[in-house]
Amino acid sequence: MLKSERLKTILQVVKTQKFVTVDELAQALKVSDMTIRRDLNELHKANKILRIHGGAQLLSDQIRTEKSYQQKREIHSKEKYEVAKRACNLIHENDSIYVGPGTTLELLVANLKVKHLRIVTNSLPVFEAAKDNMNDYDLIMVGGSYRRISGAFVGALANNELKTMSFSVGFVGVNGIKDTSLTTANLEEGQTEGIGLDRSQIKFVVADYTKLDHSDFHQFYDLRNVDGLITNHGIEPELEKHYSQFTTIYK
């Protein structure tokens, strides 16, 4: 493979996954890690990516311009990536999974490598990410009314459609977790996510540590009813102990 071809591939990967490690790239492109480092440094010098310890991520301004609808995307990219990778390990071949809206869950489906999955989502960004994933998944969109701000489909249509389905695993993101309450900014979105969880045999909530011990307006689910809280290492031991009373912590 030509060098410029490799550089282009790297850029492509960074764009879709927001973050990559040196090892991942070295394995995928079948070159040594040193070569990848040199490539990343070159791309960094050309101001195409942001070089960080262990890998690279999208430039924050690229994140902003790419999708103007959310500034959330530009922060905590690495943390979200960690959480997403952890969540990937909980998915197995032939699963039918529900994936709610949220940037972390976009990363989840973008980084999935398990084969033979049925992915159901009510989020357009998540759908797009799954569509761009190299593996050829059975992809189902839950339609409904469109919320421009989050890119999610919600309302009675979405809810009714979800109620006709059953999932082996379900993942939702949150804006905050306070005590045993999962909270979000929008009532309708929370309701739809709640139904997605209800219809899932195993229920996971995905939240980097910045979401813990914070509360948003609408409570939409009880932490005691979910099977796992997927977060990253940044979680404070005190909080971990607190939440582990109610559910399993994956970090």
Partner DNA sequence: TATAGCTATCGAACAATTTCAAACATTGAC
Partner DNA sequence: GTCAATGTTTGAAATTGTTCGATAGCTATA
Other CB atoms within 10 A of residue 206 CB? 27
CA distance 54 to 88: 19
Structure tokens at 122: 């009510």
**Number of chain residues interacting with a copy of itself (CB under 8 A):** 32
- 2 versus 93: smaller Cβ distance to DNA: 2
- 27 versus 244: smaller Cβ distance to a copy of itself: 27
Q: Which of residues 28-67 bind DNA (CB under 7 A)?
A: 30-35, 37-39, 41, 51-55
> With contact defined as beta carbons under 8 Å apart, do 123 and 151 qualify?
yes
> With contact defined as beta carbons under 8 Å apart, do 48 and 41 qualify?
no
Residue 224 in contact with a copy of itself, rule: CB under 8 A: no
- 20 versus 117: smaller Cβ distance to DNA: 20
Amino acid at 29: L
In this chain, which stretch among 48-56, 76-84, 95-103, 181-189 interacts with a copy of itself, using CB under 8 A? 48-56
In whole angstroms, the minimum distance from the beta carbon of 15 to DNA comes to: 19
- 81 versus 137: smaller Cβ distance to a copy of itself: 137
Residue that has been written with the tokens 């999932």 in this structure: 167
Best CA proximity match to 122, nearest among 94, 104, 87, 98: 98
Residue 46 in contact with a copy of itself, rule: CB under 8 A: no
CA distance 153 to 225: 24
Q: Which residues sit at the interface with a copy of itself, rule CB under 8 A?
A: 2-5, 18-19, 21, 52-55, 57, 122, 124, 127, 131, 138-146, 148, 153, 157-158, 160-161, 164
